Amino acid sequence: MTTVGILGGGQLGAMLAPALQDLGADVHVFDPDPNAPALRRAARAVSGSWRDVPRLQAFFDACDVVTYEFENVESEGLARLEGLGKLCPSLDVLRTTQNRVLEKEFLRAHGLPHVAFVDGRTAAGLSAAAFEFGFPSILKTARGGYDGKGQWKLASVAELDALLATPARAVLDASGWVLEEPIDIVLEASAIVARERNGDEVVFPLFENEHRDHILDVTLVPARLTDDLEAEAKSVALAAARALGVTGLLTTELFVGRSARSRPGEVRVFTNEFAPRPHNSGHVTRKACTFSQFEALARILTGVPLVPPRLVSAGAFCMANLLGEVWEAQGAPASLDLSAWEGSPDLLEVVLYGKKDVAAKRKMGHLTVRAAGPEEAIAAARAAREAIQRSGPPRSV
Ligand code: ADP
Ligand code: MG
């Protein structure tokens, strides 16, 4: 039996664990938060700090292979461990993808299409670089950002100066920064590549993503892209996975849109960022594809060969996130009232992650629907979400 360790105990780990167990693996989970949902799915749950090297070492020693579902794991602690060959994707992949400066420099070095940028490792040169780069621009911290946290849209030098007079300066100084061009986005997409230890790889159908307040709102598959743009997006994602040498999953977030700097007017693909792990947009694969992103990673980690994933049927599939707002007033439900949807063949799943604390913008669960076409699928997913919200807490628990 293979023992697989997962660093991070959020919903990604909670959905990965059963996929691993279905392949006969024993699952161990490590997370600093003793309430993290995936800890409850594990044969062995370890709660400790990312800096607790002895505890991390013991966790590694008990596993045959270790992956991570959270890319802000502090790599400094991991770097001190023995047996790092067990980590998939590797520590190098984690380091590159958790730091926007390294990530952007990787894109540039490998000639992958990216958003125009300048970067720096301390706040010292930021003002001068921004002045030269021009405005409007988007400033991002190199580390620790997610769901739009750690980024600012800047219209002028005055706005940058105002920002640098706040505590954000210390964060930018400690973390490094990237300043990039705002893209006139036609649509956002993501591509998940699953790559085996021997280099065999498959790519999932492309996902189309709509964000609200910088947080993923809905994911649609198939994406509404021309064949040319879809082929380009897939080839960028595959090239990136190869160049990084990923064993596991690599999610590539892409912008499809126009740049004012290079070839104005032309709609192109730009790589935004990577996640070397299952991705929120990939939840749609649970119902839309012949196997899910979680099953793909589970196969790689347990040495079961992959076949190319396909959509299970014609039509369109849409995943909608259930954020804390849905239940904030009442608290998280212990069970859902799905009576309005009982028997509906189009609502394929509703998943709650079992997080203890409900908070605005916190991802509490998701649902997936199927419909004849893309617009209907998006509308049906949003309608199902609203119905669940209206139904409020369960009638009896
Ligand atoms: P994170 O997902 O880590 O919060 P991202 O860099 O992916 O950070 O940015 C979050 C969202 O902000 C993107 O999905 C996109 O909607 C928007 N965004 C980020 N960078 C740009 C850009 N250069 N041009 C236009 N929109 C952007
Ligand atoms: Mg992102």
pLDDT band at 174 (very low <50, low <70, confident <90, very high): very high
Phi, psi angles (nearest 5°) of residue 318: -135, 130
**Taking Cα atoms as reference points, which of 234, 184, 185 lies closest to residue 207?**
234
pLDDT band at 336 (very low <50, low <70, confident <90, very high): low
Q: How far is the CA of 54 from the centre of ligand 1 (A)?
A: 37
User: What's the count of helices (H) and strands (E) in the chain, helices before strands?
Assistant: 12, 17
State the Cα angle at 14 between 322 and 204, rounded to 5°: 75
Which of 115, 149, 154, 255 has most ligand 1 atoms within 8 Å of its beta carbon, as the pocket-test mutant?
Answer: 255
Secondary structure class of 38 (helix, strand, coil): helix
In 42-108, beta strands by DSSP E = 44-46, 65-68
Q: What is the mean pLDDT of residues 202-228?
A: 97
Model pLDDT, residue 330:
63
- Least confident span in 22-26, 111-115, 363-367: 363-367
**pLDDT tens-digit readout, 104-139:** 999 999 999 999 999 999 999 999 999 999 999 999
- pLDDT score at 396: 32
For the ranges 172-176, 316-320, 349-353, which has the lowest average pLDDT? Answer: 349-353
Across 7-17, average pLDDT: 98
Position in ligand 1 atom list of the atom nearest CA 209: 14
For range 58-77, the mean pLDDT: 93
Nearest Cα neighbor of 143 from 95, 181, 110 is 95
Give 346 or 24, the one with higher predicted confidence.
24
Closest ligand relative to 189 C-alpha: 1
Does the C-beta of 211 come closer than 6 Å to ligand 1? yes
* Closest approach atom of ligand 1 to CA 182: 24
pLDDT at 82 over 90: yes
Q: Which residue in this structure is represented by tokens 């800096």?
A: 51
Contacts of 227 (CB under 8 A, 6+ apart): none
Cβ contacts of 307 within 8 Å, gap of 6 or more: 202, 290
Strand partners, 325: none
Most informative mutation of 139, 152, 178, 214 for ligand 1 (most atoms within 8 A of CB):
214
Percent of the chain with pLDDT over 70: 93
Instruction: Establish whether residue 178 lines the binding site of ligand 1, counting it when its CB lies within 6 angstroms of any ligand atom.
Output: no
Q: How many CB atoms lie within 10 A of CB 374?
A: 18
- Per-residue model confidence (pLDDT) at position 75: 87
Q: Predicted confidence band at 343 (pLDDT cuts at 50, 70, 90)?
A: low
Q: What is the tens place of the pLDDT at every residue in 218-246?
A: 999 999 999 999 999 999 999 999 999 99
Pocket test for ligand 1, best of 272, 273, 361, 363 (most atoms within 8 A of CB): 272
- Residues 254-290: tens digit of each pLDDT: 999 999 987 888 999 999 999 999 999 999 999 999 9
The alpha carbon of 229 and the centre of ligand 1 are apart by a number of angstroms equal to: 19
When mean pLDDT is compared across 16-30, 55-69, 343-357, the lowest value belongs to 343-357
The mean per-residue pLDDT over the stretch 88-92 comes to 98
Lowest mean pLDDT among 184-193, 253-262, 319-328, 330-339: 330-339
**Residue 11: closest CA among 302, 263, 270, 351:** 351
* pLDDT given at position 333: 58
Residue 394 has pLDDT above 80, yes or no: no
Decide: 253 in ligand 1 pocket, CB within 6 A.
yes
pLDDT for 303: 97
Cβ neighbors of 266 (< 8 A, separation 6 or more) are 258
Residue-averaged pLDDT of the chain: 93
End-to-end CA distance of the chain: 38
**What are the CA-CA distances from residue 128 to residues 134, 203, 395 (Å)?**
10, 41, 60
Measured from the Cα of 145, ligand 1's closest atom is 3
Q: Which atom of ligand 1 is nearest to the CA of 183?
A: 24
Question: Using 50, 70 and 90 to split pLDDT, how confident is the model at 397?
Answer: very low
Position 341 pLDDT exceeds 70: no
pLDDT of residue 382: 93
